Amino acid sequence: MKPYAEMTKEELLEEKEKLDKEYDAYLAMNLHLDMSRGKPCKEQLDLSMGMMDVLNSKVDLRCEDGTDCRNYGCLDGIPEAKVLMGDMMENHPDNIIIYGNSSLNVMYDTVARAMTHGIMGNTPWGKLDKVKFLCPVPGYDRHFAITEYFGIEMIPVPMTKDGPDMDMVESLVSSDEAIKGIWCVPKYSNPQGYSYSDATVRRFARLKPAATDFRIFWDNAYGIHHLYDDDQDYLVEILAECKRAGNPDMVYKFASTSKITFPGSGIAALATSLNNLEDIRKQLKNQTIGHDKVNQLRHVRYFKDIHGMTEHMRKHADIIRPKFEMVEQVLEEGLGGRNVGTWTLPKGGYFISFDSLDGCAKAIVLKAKKAGVIMTGAGATWPYGKDPHDSNIRIAPTLPPVSELKTAAELFVLCVKLVSVEKLLEA
């Protein structure tokens, strides 16, 4: 199709008239569709219903080491949960603490602890004049919300297909002692679905931070969340690589089963060095007597081992892969050749990232909303909600049924075209 930028004013006006009519037709449909959040759909949740059966009143609720999971105790998780999550995260069970239902909560607590008590004997961040985090962009809004809440200055770092711009990361981290962390979603990143290349991970592990308490916040949210069985991304394991590089304490790695079993009723985990774990336990013992061991046991008894979990993830993929492919197809059919947007083709994770012409994202999201399709707010993928190009939009295809998703994607494409044409007419 002809790029809009090559159309004459008359052609654009004609196109706009046509698109306006299409849009009016959508308005008349009175839609209520949601592509805003990375939520599993009902069919995905149904996959884990068997987990509700593995524990019942006849089952022995003691774990392997004899601990009665029904009672107090066991601050950092039952042994078999550490093994399962260790296999999932590619880390040794001894390097793992099992938490409650939310890895976001673990990240929040990790920042909160650094604010009030510092990391491994260093000055609490709250006592410093300035604390900064690097934020690969586009990125995850809830990461940015945590650092914003604690008054941490966020510095955007552009993402590439291989991960964050490592020249920039290296230069900033080694020169500015106020930089204490970086938010990473290293595999099937949020929202682009990019996975960090081997070179990127190696350069992360070899960082020479000016701050001794600099930490990589490695949110491995989509570690086993592949879309394709025969085409998966593999990452160099960051803890091991940091250890080899002589930076054993530089990374906190987070994961959870939220998008494996039930969001909100899964188990979260942190993997890090023994030094960091010792530092964390000093705080954790004041915060709680222990997390939900019955739910840990429920997960282990259900999956049995990492193979059970892997097979389970194939079923998730079978449900959501067609949704990703359908959205990608609608984008290609509607926008291919128009040169008014680019989008990613992830092999895993929960999102597709879309970039419109500069200055169009907010208008596109607003137009979709007016016609009853909720997208993630434009700007959400940037710190402080401020996308300087006003171009990035996160598409979350998992929640709606396929038929609704098709309608929503088609409306989205229409909104992109309409706003782009209007933009070009303004110029």
Would you tell me which residues interact with its own copies (CB under 8 A)? 37, 39-40, 42, 45, 48-50, 52-53, 55-57, 59, 61, 68-74, 100-102, 104-105, 108-109, 112, 115-117, 126, 142, 145-146, 149-150, 258, 262-265, 283, 285-295
Residues 6+ apart with CB under 8 A from 416: 334, 335, 340, 341, 354, 356, 360, 364
Whether 179 and 210 have beta carbons less than 8 Å apart is answered as yes
Name the E strands within 185-262.
215-219, 251-256
Cβ closest to its own copies, residue 72 vs residue 234: 72
Q: Please give the Cα distance from 307 to 47 (Å, whole number).
A: 16
Q: Report, in Å, the least distance between residue 22 CB and its own copies.
A: 33
Shortest CB 328 distance to its own copies, Å: 24
**Type of residue numbered 15:** E
Residue 81: CB minimum distance to its own copies, A:
13
Instruction: Tell me how far, at minimum, the Cβ of 110 lies from its own copies, in Å.
Output: 11
Nearer to its own copies, 63 or 236 (CB): 63
CA distances from 309 to 225, 274, 316 (A): 11, 26, 11
Radius of gyration of the chain (CA): 23
Shortest Å distance, C-beta 102 to its own copies: 5
What are residue 68's DSSP bridge partners? Answer: 62
Which of 155, 150, 154 has the alpha carbon at shortest distance from 126? 150
Q: How far is the CB of 344 from its own copies (least distance, A)?
A: 23
Cβ closest to its own copies, residue 70 vs residue 389: 70
How many CB atoms within 10 Å of residue 18?
A: 13
User: Which residue number, 4 or 254, has a Cβ lying nearer to its own copies?
Assistant: 254
Closer of 239 and 268 to its own copies (Cβ): 268
361 φ, ψ (degrees, to nearest 5): -60, -50
- The secondary structure of 257-295 as a DSSP string is STTTS-TTSS-EEEE--HHHHHHHHHHHHHH-S---HHH
Based on CB atoms, which residue is closest to its own copies, 45 or 199? Answer: 45
What is the nearest approach in angstroms of its own copies to the Cβ of residue 61?
A: 8
Backbone φ and ψ of 170, nearest 5°: -60, -45
Distance in Å, CB of 20 to its own copies, minimum: 36
Residue 105, SS3 per DSSP: helix
Question: Which is nearer to its own copies, 203 or 299 (by Cβ)?
Answer: 299
Q: The tokens of 281 are what?
A: 């336990």
Task: Name the residue nearer to its own copies (CB basis): 13 or 59.
Answer: 59
Sequence-separated (6 or more) residues with CB below 8 Å from residue 143: 107, 135, 183, 185, 217, 219
Q: What is the β-pairing status of strands 352-356 and 163-164?
A: unpaired
> In the bound complex, what is the minimum distance in angstroms from residue 69's beta carbon to its own copies?
7
Residue 298 CB, nearest approach to its own copies (Å): 9
Looking at the DSSP bridge assignments, the partners of residue 155 are 134
Whether 336 and 1 have beta carbons less than 8 Å apart is answered as yes
Distance of CA 389 to the CA centre of its chain: 22
- Six token digits for residue 149: 């809440």
Closer residue to its own copies (CB): 8 or 286: 286
- Residue placing its CB nearer to its own copies in the complex, 200 or 295: 295
